[in-house]
């Protein structure tokens, strides 16, 4: 066991072993240098594996919280070596692994367990806190965006950056500005991924402010132009018009000649989805003029039920046999109302949803257009990292990613019913 004078202590921005003889020996063996006040250890620690593990346990008992990066630096070994020691301590029962770190076993600590060793970079691709921070401001943390966020975080280590996330709003321009300013002033981000409001004078001012920031900016699932010449802002977005076209072509292939459209007025994607629906229906020679169309309030808003019933009345009166509905929540609500009114789906009305967040959970399971959300996040991170590396001389990139159509039971006739799982054309 190590004695008290051998314990690790925090010294400046690093942890080191304390103790007269031990410290002098470590300095002699490792060749520490003072670089602007920061001590750098150039060679590996003289401690044996057992001694390293005892050091970890001693500091764990004393401090309660450690980081793999700090332990590695203090002992002069790699993060991989520290993780190997942690694995051995866990196998010996000296510690317990928890999500994001380790803790002393409850019975040994004599108190509620505390996460003790934080390992923010388990893949060993570079210590996370040493990577440049990229801010990510998204309008929702619970619908549509979680998969995009996961994709961005998955791609961050390989791109040499780390993601700092902030949730904001779909339409609160002031909040988006406030969240962005906090990331720049407090975190010191080196790049920004953002999905800002894009409609209206206040949004135009926000976009002009964003593009004038001292860090590179890329829009995610948004497109915009700025300045007197309408210059494009760097962006990664879904081709929502193409997604709507997939849905219309599928329904036309099922024999439908009149395809209605319903979408939420609150979605920033409604205009593109509607444009794809109209253009493709006209291209295929479908009966566009007689097809019912409704842009509705949010499905939870007052008046939603009345507008939904009015839309279904128009569907039945005009003999419309299929509808494209954006988003999943509105589509599921529509199907439920159809069941209450005795309208069979897909027997009387075929339904295709747009988003594919929860469409598969409906009864019947809904055919849906699925944006490539994880790939949006991954591509956005790579694009911004390249911009950060290449500098302002790099040409503006606008990446458009195609969604896919996932065919389920809500849009196919009984003879073609999807028996098992999802199908894509």
pLDDT average per 10 residues of sequence, the chain (425 residues): 36 34 38 38 55 77 67 73 77 64 54 45 53 94 94 94 94 96 95 96 97 97 95 98 98 97 95 98 96 92 93 96 97 97 97 97 97 98 96 94 98 61 55
pLDDT attached to residue 20 = 36
Residues 283, 296 within the same domain = yes
DSSP state of 31: T
CA dihedral 99, 101, 104, 109 (to 10 degrees): -80
- Tokens for 33, please give them: 């240098």
Give 406's strand partners: 368
Crossing angle for the helix pair 373-390 and 145-159, nearest 10 degrees? Answer: 40
- C-alpha distances (whole Å) from 415 to each of 149, 236, 353, 424 are 39, 39, 21, 17
What span, in angstroms and rounded, lies between the C-alpha atoms of 14 and 17?
Answer: 10
Residues 38, 58 within the same domain = yes
Residues 270, 411 within the same domain = yes
**Closest Cα partner for 2 from 55, 71, 75?**
55
Write out the H or E segment, with its range, that includes residue 295.
Answer: strand 293-296
> Is residue 328 a part of any domain in this protein?
yes
pLDDT attached to residue 102 = 60
pLDDT attached to residue 30 = 41
Residue 338 in contact with residue 262, Cβ under 8 Å?
Answer: no
> Is residue 408 a part of any domain in this protein?
yes
CATH number of residue 195's parent domain: 3.40.50.2300
Please report which residue ranges of 64-211 form alpha helices under DSSP H.
68-75, 79-91, 106-109, 145-159, 173-182, 201-211
pLDDT attached to residue 284 = 98
What span, in angstroms and rounded, lies between the C-alpha atoms of 155 and 190?
Answer: 16
What span, in angstroms and rounded, lies between the C-alpha atoms of 314 and 372?
Answer: 33
Last residue of one domain, picked from the residues 64, 85, 118: 118
> Is residue 89 a part of any domain in this protein?
yes
CATH number of residue 96's parent domain: 1.10.10.10
C-alpha triplet 67, 70, 71: angle, nearest 5°: 85
Residues 106, 148 within the same domain = no
Split into its structural domains, the chain has a count of 3
Residue 144 in contact with residue 133, Cβ under 8 Å?
Answer: no
What span, in angstroms and rounded, lies between the C-alpha atoms of 253 and 233?
Answer: 37
The model's pTM is 0.70
Residues 303, 271 within the same domain = yes
Give 412's strand partners: none
What span, in angstroms and rounded, lies between the C-alpha atoms of 327 and 343?
Answer: 20
What span, in angstroms and rounded, lies between the C-alpha atoms of 307 and 385?
Answer: 45
Residues 29, 94 within the same domain = yes
pLDDT attached to residue 88 = 79
Residues 82, 159 within the same domain = no
What span, in angstroms and rounded, lies between the C-alpha atoms of 275 and 339?
Answer: 29
pLDDT attached to residue 35 = 32
What span, in angstroms and rounded, lies between the C-alpha atoms of 247 and 403?
Answer: 11
Domain of 83, in residue numbers:
4-118
Residues 364, 244 within the same domain = yes
Residues 261, 137 within the same domain = no
């Amino acid at each position: 066991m190590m004695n008290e004078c051998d314990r690790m202590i925090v010294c400046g921005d690093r942890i080191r072993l304390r103790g007269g003889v031990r410290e002098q020996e470590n300095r002699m063996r490792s060749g520490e240098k003072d670089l602007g006040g920061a001590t750098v250890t150039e060679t590996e620690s003289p401690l044996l594996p057992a001694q390293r593990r005892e050091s970890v346990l001693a500091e764990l008992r004393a401090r309660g919280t450690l980081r793999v990066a700090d332990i590695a630096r203090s002992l002069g070994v790699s993060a991989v070596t520290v993780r190997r020691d942690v694995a051995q301590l866990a196998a010996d029962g000296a510690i317990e692994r928890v999500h994001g770190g380790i803790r002393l076993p409850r019975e040994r600590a004599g108190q509620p367990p505390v996460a003790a060793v934080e390992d923010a970079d388990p893949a060993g691709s570079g210590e996370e806190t040493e990577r440049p921070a990229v801010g990510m401001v998204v309008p929702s943390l619970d619908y549509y965006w979680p998969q995009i966020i996961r994709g961005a975080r998955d791609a961050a280590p390989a791109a040499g950056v780390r993601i700092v996330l902030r949730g904001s709003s779909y339409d609160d321009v002031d909040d988006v500005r406030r969240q962005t300013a906090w990331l720049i002033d407090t975190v010191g981000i080196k790049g920004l991924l953002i999905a800002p409001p894009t409609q209206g004078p206040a949004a135009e001012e926000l976009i002009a402010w964003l593009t004038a920031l001292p860090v590179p900016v890329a829009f995610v699932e948004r497109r915009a132009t700025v300045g007197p010449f309408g210059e494009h802002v760097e962006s990664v977005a879904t081709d929502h018009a193409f997604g709507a076209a997939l849905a219309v072509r599928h329904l036309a292939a099922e024999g439908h000649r009149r395809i209605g459209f319903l979408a939420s007025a609150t979605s920033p994607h409604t205009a593109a989805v509607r444009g794809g629906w109209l253009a493709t229906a006209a291209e295929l020679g479908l009966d566009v003029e007689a097809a019912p169309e409704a842009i509705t309030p949010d499905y939870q808003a007052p008046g939603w039920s009345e507008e939904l019933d009015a839309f279904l009345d128009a569907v039945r009166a005009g003999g419309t046999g299929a509808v494209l509905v954006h988003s999943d929540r509105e589509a599921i609500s529509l199907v439920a109302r159809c069941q209450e009114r005795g309208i069979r789906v897909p027997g009387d009305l075929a339904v295709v949803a747009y988003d594919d967040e929860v469409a598969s959970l409906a009864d019947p399971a809904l055919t849906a257009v699925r944006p490539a959300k994880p790939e949006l996040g991954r591509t956005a991170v790579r694009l911004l990292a390249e911009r950060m590396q290449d500098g302002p001389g790099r040409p503006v990139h606008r990446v458009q990613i195609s969604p896919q159509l996932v065919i389920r039971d809500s849009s196919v006739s009984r003879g073609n019913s999807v028996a098992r799982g999802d199908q894509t054309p």
